[in-house]
């Protein structure tokens, strides 16, 4: 399990199972810079960097291209589900996935996801 801290977003990734979360910043903390906000620019950077590393957001069930909502942190920030295109374990067991989900949801207490994940 590892963490990538971007300017406003935080990614928690489990390369073993290919599961992850991207915690979004609090919208109230956003700064507008002309036509683009700080959070929008950081989103674009985070998604591009995660893509370069082999990770991308899961799409929601609506199939409209929006990312899948995974839960809310204790301080009210949204988390979206990520997946790794090349996990170390190509077919993780249910137990491995459950352990990864538990660890991702806890984040060492820092950004704990308190709402149900899926």
Helix H or strand E segment including 105 = helix 94-106
Could you give the number of structural domains in the chain? 1
> pLDDT digits over 14-66, tens only?
999 999 999 999 999 998 877 789 999 999 999 999 999 999 999 988 778 88
In terms of residue numbers, what domain contains 34?
A: 2-109
> pLDDT digits over 58-112, tens only?
998 877 888 999 888 888 899 999 999 999 988 888 888 888 878 877 774 567 7
Cα separation, 60 vs 80, in Å, equals 10
Cα separation, 114 vs 71, in Å, equals 7
Helix H or strand E segment including 12 = strand 10-14
This prediction has a pTM of 0.85
| In a domain? residue 10 | yes
The closest of 75, 115, 117 to 100, measured between CA atoms, is: 117
| In a domain? residue 117 | no
In which residue are the tokens 């370069």 written? 52
| In a domain? residue 118 | no
């Amino acid at each position: 399990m590892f963490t990538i801290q971007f300017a406003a977003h935080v990614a928690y990734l489990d390369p073993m199972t290919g599961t992850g979360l991207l915690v979004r910043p609090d919208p109230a903390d956003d700064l507008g810079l002309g036509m683009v906000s700080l959070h929008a620019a950081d989103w674009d950077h985070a998604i591009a960097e995660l893509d370069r590393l082999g990770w991308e957001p899961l799409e929601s069930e609506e199939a409209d291209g929006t990312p899948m909502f995974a839960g809310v942190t204790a301080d009210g920030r949204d988390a979206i589900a990520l997946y790794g295109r090349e996990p170390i374990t190509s077919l993780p067991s249910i137990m491995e996935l459950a352990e990864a989900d538990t660890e991702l949801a806890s984040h060492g207490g820092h950004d704990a996801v308190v709402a149900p994940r899926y």
